[in-house]
Structure 1
């Protein structure tokens, strides 16, 4: 295998720095100078600025500092000026306690706070800022992060908080933040299962695992806290097992349907852990081949851009030995989170058993199956899906694995003028004092809610001589509505996850139309589908 050059990191990310500059209010005389939320300052369709967007100062600072190939922003005075302006806008737009909002006013979102704090503290260090007001603001936001949590377990947020607090300690010289960073790192590790995965709500998400590794490794490098290395090594070894043969990560089988693939932490760990170098090399191969999922919209593009740029800066020297194309064949059933990884010499399968069995199958490096589950459209046009929740019943005898999941009604709730007015009214009045309660209610409605339907899917996965056989048994229960359409979906998600639904070449595979089996389901109550790869 010819090892790809590290310049691929820059080729994939540097063009998006220009996109961020377009999003930025660059007018120094504007009241919103430094704001990266173009919907707020330019189109004026939003009534508050998104605090998450201010993390974009970090890609700007990196582009100003480093001589990346074909970098027009290197050492440009105005780029440094805009970086500091972005931090200052965050200061001016923050609540009095230093927090910020993400999706609605007075949200005081921890995710937006830790992402932006990390980006701003690192950017301030990179451009060698010298503004006591900005230092005081970063300290204030850090204190807010120290004092607040969030509902649900998102291990990546704790890792980001650890890195952000450690960066703030370096900016301010205050060891209080370093102590808090160490505590956050321990909290992150407390959410790592013995199987190696970090918890994201209800399970393992390989894409988000790259995020947690990314930020926890940055914390380690900045703090010298070697106590996190054992957990990082186990996390990286699991990432190698879960990495697709084409070098990518993630999909609808994952706990949060994420497609993240952040390489900076892997580069930091590569000198210590050979698996990190191998995973990174395969990811570089995916980038070279144009296989990365595109999550480049105005809100999310910053996450991977600064990780790519920092991976170029901290690229770990490799020896001359070529990277193994694939890990050794192995079958791994992560029973605690319900994920099956079956790597054979001829084929590879990864499935989210706890979600009812969404899966991907590869032949060599070619994706041949990308299944997000079964979808039924009833005669009254309601959509039922098999992939909601993480509560499927799973059995595994070591050769054949079976997962049984009850269908649920797809929940794709949209905002309406009335709902928007109600949410704003609640948050402007009493909701601002109950941020955690409001978040829990929204999570329950948009993310974790499952309204069951009287259909079940039993999906069986077994090896064949050279590949895999998947057998689906769809059963219609007593009192169930009649079906009008029956489909096998690709790329389908039915609950809200911000980072899901990027563009991914895997979605070029077609859905499977099974309408010719609908009468069999309605009249006989059972349909069985057998597929071989």
Structure 2
């Protein structure tokens, strides 16, 4: 199979360039946030769109057949525009915004800084305003140095790589030492099963993102600790590459179905389980049976497009693959059961009420996201994640008993929008208030569940062949 990673991303580059303000006399030249610079329906620019600058930098450097962007002067101008615009939208405390003004987003700061640092490391002598860019980088890294967010561990992995990249760019040992300390702290959060918590449980797509950042840390630092963490994470991820080419989904803490490819490909030459994942991913991308650049929305194309180009650099034809065979494995800490035989492959998460996904040998699949109970004006679900209330019994199968939760559908309104903007304008500049706002919003939009008083149980058993 040819290098599928380059094929699937190169076809989407015209769409990516369509997001970019390419007018050099425009005050927003270099912005990839089209809603901000073109449609004027956003009053701030999302910093994460600037991660697309790294995609352009790699295209500029990769001397591949069928790469019309190699060594292009226009692309180099756009790269400089992207870096300069990133600097322009930085807040005074070094942070950046993703979802609303004065957000001071940890993840937007970590991920966008990581990408811009890679650009500077790759094209140092070709960055027109390098000294100013370096000042902005150090401000961002100083912000990351003072803050940490373990709610979603992939964000911390990105921060660690950003801090280490800053060491590579500046040769200041304090950044190297801090990166190792943060890596050690993150290692203590990794579960024995190999996963990192993402809002309380494992998630397949975000685990692949954490693996991607840790792989880059290991590649650059050669730290044994990073390799140990990667090996454990791959041992877990190995079970969630489905026979039909799909990954993850309903049973993960955040339901993600994509796989970030570059870390997997980097590990594959020395880890046969990573080789198995890479082999399945290549096939699935070639057949378009999994999520890839061709069906990513514009936002995610800007966020992760470069990882396909990086994966193309690690691509090797001669993969050593560890075949899985039949599986009957229960991950007790995560509550996930994986079972396969000659007829089907089943994954179920009992800490999400027994949601499940099954792939059958004939190519069909079955997905069950649990029970939905609808009354006159309320909707309840069984598929929420909260391990503290689980009662799981294993007896020739699995039985789970739990309470259903009330689903809340929060939507933005004119009043809510104006209130948030006014509040942020007046008080959002203060970091401690900003943190309270983020905790409040995260609670009502992501993690909060309301009791229903309604209990259910679900039993899953496999009839022996």
TM-score normalised to structure 2 length: 0.94
For 1:184 and 1:259, locate their aligned partners in 2 and report how far apart those are by CA, in whole Å: 28
Q: Could you tell me which residue of structure 1 aligns to residue 91 of structure 2?
A: 95
Matches within 5 A, 1:431-510: 431-433=428-430, 434-466=433-465
Secondary structure in structure 2 of the residue aligned to 1:102:
coil
Q: CA deviation at 1:381?
A: 3.3
For 1:185 and 1:112, locate their aligned partners in 2 and report how far apart those are by CA, in whole Å: 19
**Candidates 401, 404, 421, aligned match of 2:401:** 404
Q: Which runs of 4+ in 1 moved over 3 A?
A: none
2:354–2:383 Cα contact (<8 Å) kept: yes
Q: CA deviation at 1:365?
A: 7.1
Is 1:354–2:351 an aligned residue pair?
yes
Deviations 1:467-518 (A, max 9, x none): xxxxxxxxxxxxxxxxxxxxxxxxxxxxxxxxxxxxxxxxxxxxxxxxxxxx
Deviations 1:204-252 (A, max 9, x none): 1122111111110001101121222112111111111222112321112
1:14–1:305 Cα contact (<8 Å) kept: no
1:207–1:258 Cα contact (<8 Å) kept: yes
For 2:28 and 2:172, locate their aligned partners in 1 and report how far apart those are by CA, in whole Å: 30
How many residue pairs get aligned? The number is 457
Is 1:423–2:409 an aligned residue pair?
no
For 2:342 and 2:160, locate their aligned partners in 1 and report how far apart those are by CA, in whole Å: 40
Q: Could you tell me which residue of structure 2 aligns to residue 58 of structure 1?
A: 54
Q: Could you tell me which residue of structure 2 aligns to residue 395 of structure 1?
A: 392
Q: Residues 317 and 189 from structure 1, CA distance in 2 versus in 1: closer, same or farther, beyond 3 angstroms?
A: farther
Deviations 1:349-388 (A, max 9, x none): 111211111110011372421111111221x232221112
1:139–1:172 Cα contact (<8 Å) kept: no
For 1:177 and 1:18, locate their aligned partners in 2 and report how far apart those are by CA, in whole Å: 37
Deviations 1:433-491 (A, max 9, x none): 1121111100110111101223323111111134xxxxxxxxxxxxxxxxxxxxxxxxx
Secondary structure in structure 1 of the residue aligned to 2:400:
strand
Q: Could you tell me which residue of structure 2 aligns to residue 386 of structure 1?
A: 382
Q: Residues 271 and 331 from structure 1, CA distance in 2 versus in 1: closer, same or farther, beyond 3 angstroms?
A: same
More deviation in 342-351 or 94-103?
342-351
Q: Could you tell me which residue of structure 1 aligns to residue 112 of structure 2?
A: 116
More deviation in 110-119 or 307-316?
307-316
Of Structure 1 and Structure 2, which has the larger fraction of its residues in helix? 2
Secondary structure in structure 2 of the residue aligned to 1:333:
strand
Secondary structure in structure 1 of the residue aligned to 2:330:
strand
Q: Could you tell me which residue of structure 1 aligns to residue 192 of structure 2?
A: 194
**Candidates 273, 280, 289, aligned match of 2:278:** 280
Q: Could you tell me which residue of structure 2 aligns to residue 298 of structure 1?
A: 298
Q: Could you tell me which residue of structure 2 aligns to residue 489 of structure 1?
A: none
Secondary structure in structure 2 of the residue aligned to 1:407:
strand
1:386–1:406 Cα contact (<8 Å) kept: yes
TM-score normalised to structure 1 length: 0.82
RMSD: 1.8
For 1:15 and 1:230, locate their aligned partners in 2 and report how far apart those are by CA, in whole Å: 36
For 2:258 and 2:185, locate their aligned partners in 1 and report how far apart those are by CA, in whole Å: 22
Q: Residues 302 and 370 from structure 1, CA distance in 2 versus in 1: closer, same or farther, beyond 3 angstroms?
A: same
Q: CA deviation at 1:344?
A: 2.2
**Candidates 325, 331, 336, aligned match of 1:334:** 331
Unaligned runs of 5+ in 2: none
1:250–1:258 Cα contact (<8 Å) kept: yes
Q: CA deviation at 1:317?
A: 5.3
1:33–1:86 Cα contact (<8 Å) kept: yes
Q: CA deviation at 1:312?
A: 0.6
Q: Could you tell me which residue of structure 2 aligns to residue 74 of structure 1?
A: 70
Q: Could you tell me which residue of structure 2 aligns to residue 366 of structure 1?
A: 363
Unaligned runs of 5+ in 1: 467-533
More deviation in 277-286 or 69-78?
69-78
Of Structure 1 and Structure 2, which has the larger fraction of its residues in strand? 1
